Amino acid sequence: MGFFKSKLKRFNRDNKQKKNENSEHELRIDELLHRCKESTDFVSYRYSESSPFYIHYYQTIVEINILHQYVLPYINENKSNTLFDLQQAIPIDNTEIIDNVHEIRDKLLTGCIVIEVKGSLQEALVISAVSLEKRPVSMPEVEYSVVGPKEAFVESIDANINLVRKRLPIPDLIVEEVKIGSLTKTRVAVLYIKGVTDEENVNTILQRLNDIQFDQIVDSSFINQIISDNHKSPFPQLIDTERPDRVASVLSEGKITILVDGSPHALTGPTTLVEFFSAFEDYYLSWHIASIFRLVRLFAVFFSVLSTSLYVAVLTYHYEMIPENLLNPLIASRSGIPFPPILEAIILELTIELLREAGARLPTKIGQTIGIVGGIVIGTAAVQAGLTSNVLLIIVALAALASFTTPVYQMGNTIRLIRFPFLITAQLWGLLGVTFCFSYILSHLLKMSSLGRPYLAPVYPLRLADLRDSLFRLPFFMQTKRPLQVRSPVRTRFQPKKHEKSKIDIED
């Protein structure tokens, strides 16, 4: 029975691979071995003079103990000369006899031992013995949270699926795998919960993944950029996260997750702009606190984007707007400055960017030094030298701080980037310039979509039901429905139990 199954599998796979075969047809097994032998880590030998079996493998990706303990002894004992008998004898599952050379090659290159019998040109026994280097599951570093699980994804896709599946032990959690990249042959898995996720979304993702023509997929961010709806946009259109708990929760909301082998970041979508400002820790805190934190983050975004450009606009054009009592400190701090506000602002903004970039590239321990040098030494020195004003230094530092409150790293970068156009328009047309720039970005955001779903939802199109978990987070018993954004066929998440609020007197 098992044999037939594997035959059926082989048949299916053959069909899939027909395309490949047409391009490089008629590869013989000896040619393949000849090619492999060019690498020094390829091992190929005959077991013994008397034995008919040849053994081939890449020693760098094979767990050598499997060969020693479970394969070689049985070759020794086995008196029969056929691969089939050997397959029966070896106490390892997942062995296959394959007669397709292309398939043999793929298996060989992904960590299998290939055993060939003397005289047979096309058939070989393939024994899986992969040995992959992977690091253990560690703490989340990009999306750290004070409370909640401390597990983060690692570079192995199997370990990552394991982390998700143990949180969602249901057969409806489907993993669909595709191989992408003509050189890297990266395994890319699409995870979703059948029945909860909209089929159209799944098809969109699978379609886009299958359409990818690229030689190397090294990280999930490659996929993120390639399959995004709007390639010209600086805004990320899928959330990347390193938290398995976030992925599990997002999946049960009816969204889709993409995992890429070799990447410790999962992609989830379809998503909205406001979702980029929700940290997963929000769900671990009480809803009042979580809502306030979200509003603080939203304020931080606006502050980060607008504060320096407003400073430039007001000081360049609309100084009448400054109230009398604020005039004194402003004049005192700006009186000796030799530059116009725009130059002052750009210099400081660039300094902050410089510090951030240097801090990100340097090892952690030196990175801290950079923070101290930048924050204290350069800042104080710049003010004392009379190159920048105290007020602007405070504003720029706060704006930089505010931009780091965004929980998703990619969005934080975007926010820091878009304040430069604001600065320039503020210099050109003052407050109006800021408005113009803002409305241009708004037009861009209105046109954007994530997997074909509107990006600005639930604000526009207005979905009051989705507002429950967007700009603020209402308590769990009010979150009985899945967001409209994902178009889940089953909108109800759970049936809320009627709270029996019978009139109980104080001391009853």
Considering only residues 64, 121, 446, 490, which one is a binding residue for another protein as defined by CB under 8 A? 446
Considering only residues 61, 89, 431, 484, which one is a binding residue for another protein as defined by CB under 8 A? 431
Which of these ranges, 1-9, 59-67, 85-93, 460-468, lies near another protein under the rule CB under 8 A? 460-468
d(CA 42, CA 11): 29
Collect all residues with Cβ–Cβ distance below 8 Å to 396 and sequence separation of at least 6: 308, 345, 348, 349, 352
Does position 434 bind another protein by CB under 8 A? yes
Does position 443 bind another protein by CB under 8 A? yes
Which of these ranges, 110-118, 133-141, 229-237, 438-446, lies near another protein under the rule CB under 8 A? 438-446
Does position 74 bind another protein by CB under 8 A? no
Q: What is the sign, positive or negative, of the torsion defined by CA atoms of 498, 503, 506, 508?
A: negative
CA 285 to chain centre: 24
Considering only residues 444, 487, 491, 493, which one is a binding residue for another protein as defined by CB under 8 A? 444
Does position 477 bind another protein by CB under 8 A? no
Does position 295 bind another protein by CB under 8 A? no
User: Can you read off the two tokens belonging to residue 333?
Assistant: 């701090």
Beta-ladder partners of 193: 173
Q: How far is the CB of 332 from another protein (least distance, A)?
A: 18
> 71 vs 301, which CB is nearer to another protein?
301
CB contact at 8 A, 366 and 359:
no
Taking every pair of Cα atoms in the chain, the longest distance, rounded to a whole number of angstroms, is: 102
Which of these ranges, 109-117, 135-143, 252-260, 440-448, lies near another protein under the rule CB under 8 A? 440-448
Does position 131 bind another protein by CB under 8 A? no
User: Can you read off the two tokens belonging to residue 116?
Assistant: 């060939």
Question: What single string gives the DSSP state of each residue in 54-81?
Answer: EEEEETTTB-HHHIIIIIHHHHHH----
> 325 vs 364, which CB is nearer to another protein?
325
Does position 496 bind another protein by CB under 8 A? no
Does position 334 bind another protein by CB under 8 A? no
Place of tokens 């032998």: 37
Q: How far is the CB of 319 from another protein (least distance, A)?
A: 9
Helix (H, G, I), strand (E, B) or coil at 140: coil
Which string of x and - marks every residue 410-429 that binds another protein (by CB under 8 A)?
-------------------x
Does position 298 bind another protein by CB under 8 A? no
Does position 234 bind another protein by CB under 8 A? no
d(CA 43, CA 228): 43
Does position 404 bind another protein by CB under 8 A? no
Q: How far is the CB of 422 from another protein (least distance, A)?
A: 13
Instruction: Say how many residues touch another protein, by CB under 8 A.
Output: 27
Beta strands in 173-298 (DSSP E): 173-180, 186-193, 239-241, 256-260, 266-269
User: Can you read off the two tokens belonging to residue 186?
Assistant: 């990266």
User: Which candidate, 479, 406, 430, places its Cα nearest to that of 143?
Assistant: 406
Q: What is the sign, positive or negative, of the torsion defined by CA atoms of 284, 289, 295, 299?
A: negative
CB contact at 8 A, 113 and 130:
no
Which of these ranges, 61-69, 146-154, 363-371, 452-460, lies near another protein under the rule CB under 8 A? 452-460
User: Can you read off the two tokens belonging to residue 354?
Assistant: 């410089």
Helix (H, G, I), strand (E, B) or coil at 29: helix
Does position 432 bind another protein by CB under 8 A? yes
Which string of x and - marks every residue 307-326 that binds another protein (by CB under 8 A)?
----------xx-xxxxx-x
Q: How far is the CB of 447 from another protein (least distance, A)?
A: 4
d(CA 317, CA 504): 64
Q: What is the sign, positive or negative, of the torsion defined by CA atoms of 176, 179, 180, 185?
A: positive
Does position 329 bind another protein by CB under 8 A? no
Does position 447 bind another protein by CB under 8 A? yes
Q: How far is the CB of 206 from another protein (least distance, A)?
A: 21
Cis peptide before 461 (omega within 30 of 0): yes
User: Which candidate, 152, 149, 109, places its Cα nearest to that of 128?
Assistant: 109
Q: How far is the CB of 495 from another protein (least distance, A)?
A: 28
CA separation, residue 34 to residues 53, 94, 101, 128, 183 (Å)? 17, 26, 13, 21, 20
> 321 vs 478, which CB is nearer to another protein?
321
Considering only residues 331, 332, 366, 462, which one is a binding residue for another protein as defined by CB under 8 A? 462
Q: How far is the CB of 467 from another protein (least distance, A)?
A: 13
User: Can you read off the two tokens belonging to residue 162?
Assistant: 């394991």
Does position 331 bind another protein by CB under 8 A? no
Does position 34 bind another protein by CB under 8 A? no
Considering only residues 362, 394, 401, 442, which one is a binding residue for another protein as defined by CB under 8 A? 442
> 11 vs 319, which CB is nearer to another protein?
319
Question: What single string gives the DSSP state of each residue in 351-363?
Answer: HHHHHHHHHHHS-
Does position 203 bind another protein by CB under 8 A? no
259 φ, ψ to 5°? -115, 140
Which of these ranges, 31-39, 71-79, 433-441, 500-508, lies near another protein under the rule CB under 8 A? 433-441
Give, in degrees to the nearest 5, the angle at Cα 282 between 276 and 284.
Answer: 145
Does position 299 bind another protein by CB under 8 A? no
- Residues at the interface with another protein (CB under 8 A): 317-318, 320-324, 326, 429-432, 434-436, 439-440, 442-444, 446-447, 456, 459-462
